Amino acid sequence: MAPAFLKGERLVISFLPYFFGGPKIGDVVVLRHPQQKNLLLLKRINDIKDNKYTVIGDNLNGTDSRTFGLIDRKNIVGKFVAKY
Amino acid sequence: MKFLSVFLRTLDKINPPSKVYAHCDVPCGIYDIAPAKIAASTVAKMVEKIEALNFEELDKPTRNSFVRMVMTKEQHAELCKRELLILWTDFFKPEHLAMFPDLHDAFWQATKLCSKNKQGIDPQVAQELQDAVAKIGDMLMEAKAKAQK
């Protein structure tokens, strides 16, 4: 996700913004990998269709919806809010 | 804002934050020699079975078996090569060359043996491929063990 997010940066991730409306295109979110529940990924929402989310990394050499497909809302842990 | 940052970092010392990954290899850092080993063993098994065929009586079922065995040998030699290339290009990094100076040669020889097993039917060459894959498996285990220390 460079240069927007660099290795070692600390991020505040919150689900609160999604109490008042679902994730939107362009949001940077933390999600659980659909096949590896313990693996948390940072991706950007690229498209939403029928409550299914397409997530893409800023750099096209990563693993994202092109490899693991669309993800459900339940896989989204929270929205990126701030760095500290 | 700076106060908030200091506060959050202090909290992190008490309750460390979760790690998230922005990039991961498929299948997310899982590198194993097992698929290459199984493919190399399959090649060896096919060579053994082809050698056991009775070529004096080439009836239809025997010809059918022969074609299927050669095809399986071909496919698994290719699969073995691919699995080795994944380890070579994705898992092993320049720093591993210090641990294994013959790393590139080991992969080069092993992948060449995959091709050689496609070209012919030779139990000796099939065994050499299994040995080469086992050697790379040892390197992989050693590299992983060092990374965990």
Residue with the two structure tokens 């949001």: A27
Please give the pLDDT value at position B26: 46
Cα–Cα distance measured from residue A3 to residue A8, given in angstroms and rounded to the nearest whole number? 13
Q: Which residue has the tokens 């010809």?
A: B63
* CATH of range B30-148; options 1.20.120.400, 2.60.40.10, 3.40.50.720, 1.20.1250.20: 1.20.120.400
Cα B125 versus chain centre, distance = 18
* pLDDT on residue A62: 66
B12–A10: do the CB atoms touch at under 8 Å?
yes
Q: At CB < 8 Å, which residues of chain A contact B?
A: 1-2, 5, 10-13, 30, 33, 35-36, 39-43, 57-59, 61-63, 67, 84
Judge: A10–B9 Cβ closer than 8 Å, yes or no: yes
Hey, are the CB atoms on B8 and A10 less than 8 Å from each other? yes
Question: Which domains, ranges and CATH numbers included, belong to chain A?
Answer: 11-83 (2.10.109.10)
Q: What is the pLDDT along chain B (149 residues), one digit of tens a residue?
A: 688 889 889 999 999 999 888 865 444 566 889 889 999 999 999 999 999 998 887 889 889 999 999 999 999 999 999 999 989 988 898 889 999 999 999 999 999 999 999 999 999 999 999 999 999 999 999 998 887 76
- Six-digit token pair at B110? 């092993």
Residue spans per domain, chain B: 30-148
Which segment of A5-9, A32-36, B28-32, B48-52 scores lowest on mean pLDDT? Answer: B28-32
Rounded to an integer, the average pLDDT of A28-40 is 88
Cβ of residue B9 closer than 8 Å to a chain A Cβ: yes
Asked if B25 and A63 come within 8 Å (Cβ–Cβ), the reply is yes
Residues 19-78 of chain B with CB under 8 A from chain A are 19-28
pLDDT at A66: 76
Which amino acid makes up residue A79? K
Site from B2, B4, B5, B21 to mutate, A interface, most A CB atoms within 10 angstroms:
B21
